[in-house]
Amino acid sequence: MARVVVDPITRIEGHLRIEAQVDAGKITNAWSSGTMWRGIETILHGRDPREAWYFAQRICGVCTTVHALTSVRAVEDALGIIPPLNAILIRNLITLSQFVQDHAVHFYHLHALDWVDIVSALDADPVATSKLAQSISDYPRSSPKLFSAVKDRLTSFVKAGRLGPFANGYWGHPAYKLPAEANLMAVSHYLDALDFQRDYIRIHSILGGKNPHLQTYLVGGMSVPIDPNSQAAINAGTLAELRVILQKGLDFVTQAYVPDLIAIASFYTDWTAIGGGLGNYLSFGEFPTAATNLSKTDAGLFLPRGLVLGKDLSKVLPVDPLKVAEYISHSWYSYTVGNDKPLPPFEGETTPSYTGPKPPYDQLDVASKYSWLKSPRYDDRAVEVGPLARMLVAYAAGHPRVKELVGYVLGQLKVGPEVLFSTLGRTAARGIESQLLAEQSLKVLDQLEANIAGGDLRVHDGAKWDPGTWPARAQGFGLHEAPRGSLSHWVTIQNTKIEAYQIVVPSTWNAGPRDAKGQRGAYESALLNTPVADPEKPLEILRTVHSFDPCMACAAHILDPRGNELVEVTIA
């Protein structure tokens, strides 16, 4: 019996600690702790709601666009604004490209090394690697010469002891199963993906001025001008450039990401029986195809809104966002209503109350409070959010392209849909979603072009820009599916200023601690029964936790407004 502590979990965004009880080579209990304190909710108090997005998107440098979008949606809902179609389509393009880049970076740079043994790649034969690569895809960078150069480069890094981001991996661990050639192919694509993601995200500089933290959101629309006769606006040339980059994104996903995913997964099908977790899946739905308010309707969404409970894909239940509430029974906060009651976000409170031991500490006090993350619940249920949740909700709702893509990937692996409820299912769903959304990005561009060609150049509705037109009090929420899952922002506006602001974030849904009823969060639940071959090298814990793509900056987004010291960190 051993208590395995992984702190910090690396190859994620932010600071996460996992404690796991390992008995006879399997995890019998697990706790997830966000160990970082930062944030945004409180500093928004008293500000102009039209500028909230600008601060909110600073929550994170990874999912940078998502808090800007959700914030403007919340304020638009409160004030009854529906932006023009062009603005909605530009927002979709920014978000779709965010997904493709973020998922590709996660697969190659954050998750692949849980499955790919870099050191084993040194034993690969470049000619055999080229044969393997060409047998699975028509990705052009697959010649023996190229793989030979990658192998030489890797060999020189290893000889010089300069492994850089590859240092301290659990290389040689018995849970690595890929042949040397597959490892070399994956290392080569890891390097290619670095270039790909940098070039691809230029979409954000075209539509948002820069990345991260785009500059062109606006309550009521976007500040990206459309004018076919101006060099300084979206014109035919800009649209053509966007098409080239979006097509490159689709090509990379089709030729590299998805074939690599299938090739790697085929050696790890035992991971379709590990890491299932809660079995409840929530998606708010995303990508409006018309000018609508997502908080009032889910009509016309490309990805459906819905809830799947108990792994039952025979039905999709409706979602009422007002059934969201957050517990803090095991989180370092206090509520005025008592610490065991959940609060819905419109009544949410953010009062830090750190009772944990001072770091460094050996073990969390799991009977009491043990995380900076709250525990969001839907209708008092713990649910998983993210790519797997979205793909399962879409699959169960009969989304034709999702059904096709899921069928294709499962067919290649010779397994059925029941395997989706797993660590590997989570990773496969992210790849399937990348293919789906890279395809969709070109269709959204078509729709934008057609709308512009029809003479509609509007990107902003300024009718309610003047706070003098607002009611004395207004409340609204914004819903979004961010790459890691369901996100919501909740705003109360009183006399033109923000009176209250709450953010319920994807990684909080997944990485949060137990609630007052003892229900585990998604990570805590997924880790149960995960095998651990060597407690000193808990590679298997990384596999399951990374399959969620953690982002702790998003999840622990609270900040004391005056920068008062809340935690003392001692560096020995």
Q: Is 444 in the site for ligand NFE (CB under 6 A)?
A: no
Q: How far is the CB of 61 from Mg ion (least distance, A)?
A: 18
Q: Among 169, 483, 512, 521, which residue interacts with ligand NFE (rule: CB under 6 A)?
A: 483
Can you list the positions of beta strands (E) in 84-210?
Answer: none
Cα gap 289→195, rounded to integer Å: 31
Q: Is 552 in the site for Mg ion (CB under 5 A)?
A: no
Q: How far is the CB of 522 from ligand NFE (least distance, A)?
A: 11
- Per CB under 6 A, which region of 232-240, 298-306, 324-332, 550-558 contacts ligand NFE? 550-558
Nearer to ligand NFE, 219 or 505 (CB): 505
Catalytic residue from among 67, 189, 204, 390: 67
Q: Reply yes or no on whether 60 is catalytic.
A: yes
Q: Is 185 in the site for ligand NFE (CB under 6 A)?
A: no
- x/- map, 496-515, Mg ion, by CB under 5 A: -------x------------
Q: What DSSP string describes 45-75? A: TTS-GGGHHHHHGGG-SSSHHHHHHHHHHHH
Nearer to Mg ion, 175 or 503 (CB): 503
Decide which of ligand NFE, Mg ion, none touches 17; Cβ closer than 5 to 8 Å per partner kind: none
Catalytic residue from among 204, 484, 543, 557: 484
- CA-to-CA dists, residue 334 to 120, 374, 497, 569, angstroms: 50, 11, 25, 22
Decide which of ligand NFE, Mg ion, none touches 431; Cβ closer than 5 to 8 Å per partner kind: none
Q: What is the largest CA-CA distance in the chain?
A: 71
Instruction: Please give the size of the binding site for Mg ion, defined by CB under 5 A.
Output: 1
Q: Is 110 in the site for ligand NFE (CB under 6 A)?
A: no
Q: How far is the CB of 552 from ligand NFE (least distance, A)?
A: 8
Residues 504-533 that bind ligand NFE (CB under 6 A): 505-507
Q: Reply yes or no on whether 481 is catalytic.
A: no
Cα gap 100→248, rounded to integer Å: 11
Task: Note whether 441 and 93 are within 8 A (CB).
Answer: yes
Q: Reply yes or no on whether 514 is catalytic.
A: no
Nearer to Mg ion, 68 or 246 (CB): 68
Residues 51-90 that bind Mg ion (CB under 5 A): none
Q: Is 11 in the site for ligand NFE (CB under 6 A)?
A: no
Between helix 400-413 and helix 258-265 the angle, nearest 10°, is 40
CA angle 319, 45, 52 (to 5 degrees): 65
Task: Note whether 128 and 148 are within 8 A (CB).
Answer: no
Q: What DSSP string describes 338-389? A: -TTS-B-GGG----B---SPPSS-SS--TTS--BSS-EEEETTB--B-SHHH
Q: How far is the CB of 15 from ligand NFE (least distance, A)?
A: 13
Nearer to Mg ion, 218 or 500 (CB): 500
Catalytic residue from among 60, 103, 188, 305: 60
Q: Reply yes or no on whether 13 is catalytic.
A: yes
Q: Among 136, 274, 551, 558, which residue interacts with ligand NFE (rule: CB under 6 A)?
A: 551
Residues 328-387 that bind Mg ion (CB under 5 A): none
Decide which of Mg ion, ligand NFE, none touches 66; Cβ closer than 5 to 8 Å per partner kind: ligand NFE
Catalytic residue from among 13, 326, 433, 524: 13
Q: How far is the CB of 52 from Mg ion (least distance, A)?
A: 14
- Per CB under 6 A, which region of 41-49, 104-112, 402-410, 553-561 contacts ligand NFE? 553-561
Q: Reply yes or no on whether 63 is catalytic.
A: yes
Q: Is 484 in the site for ligand NFE (CB under 6 A)?
A: yes
Instruction: Please give the size of the binding site for ligand NFE, defined by CB under 6 A.
Output: 16
Residue showing tokens 């590299």: 256
Q: Reply yes or no on whether 109 is catalytic.
A: no
Cα gap 374→333, rounded to integer Å: 8
Structure tokens at 459: 């990107």
Decide which of ligand NFE, Mg ion, none touches 433; Cβ closer than 5 to 8 Å per partner kind: none
Choose among 266, 110, 108: nearest CA to 177: 266
Cα gap 244→139, rounded to integer Å: 17
Q: Reply yes or no on whether 377 is catalytic.
A: no
C-alpha distance across the termini of the chain, in Å? 29
Phi and psi at residue 103, to the nearest 5°? -65, -40
Task: Note whether 83 and 289 are within 8 A (CB).
Answer: no
**Torsion region of 76: left, alpha or beta (phi above 0 gives left; psi -120 to 50 gives alpha):** alpha
Nearer to ligand NFE, 56 or 185 (CB): 56
Q: How far is the CB of 276 from ligand NFE (least distance, A)?
A: 20
Residue type, 273: A
Q: Among 13, 384, 515, 540, which residue interacts with ligand NFE (rule: CB under 6 A)?
A: 13
Decide which of Mg ion, ligand NFE, none touches 506; Cβ closer than 5 to 8 Å per partner kind: ligand NFE
Decide which of Mg ion, ligand NFE, none touches 553; Cβ closer than 5 to 8 Å per partner kind: ligand NFE
Q: How far is the CB of 275 from ligand NFE (least distance, A)?
A: 18
DSSP, res 13: B
Structure tokens at 201: 């995200």
Q: How far is the CB of 492 from ligand NFE (least distance, A)?
A: 20
Residue showing tokens 């040689």: 172
Nearer to Mg ion, 218 or 503 (CB): 503
Long-range CB contacts for residues 238-245, cutoff 8 Å, separation at least 24: 238/206, 239/445, 239/448, 239/449, 239/452, 241/206, 242/93, 242/203, 242/206, 242/207, 242/445, 243/442, 243/445, 245/199, 245/200, 245/202, 245/203
Element (H, E) at 500: strand 497-504
- x/- map, 28-67, ligand NFE, by CB under 6 A: --------------------------------x-xx--x-
Q: How far out from the chain centre does Cα 555 lie? A: 11
Residues 6+ apart with CB under 8 A from 572: 360
Residue type, 375: S
Decide which of Mg ion, ligand NFE, none touches 507; Cβ closer than 5 to 8 Å per partner kind: ligand NFE
Catalog residues that contact ligand NFE under the rule CB under 6 A.
13, 60, 62-63, 66, 482-484, 487, 505-507, 551, 553-555
Catalog residues that contact Mg ion under the rule CB under 5 A.
503
Q: Catalytic residue positions?
A: 13, 60, 63, 67, 484, 507, 551, 554
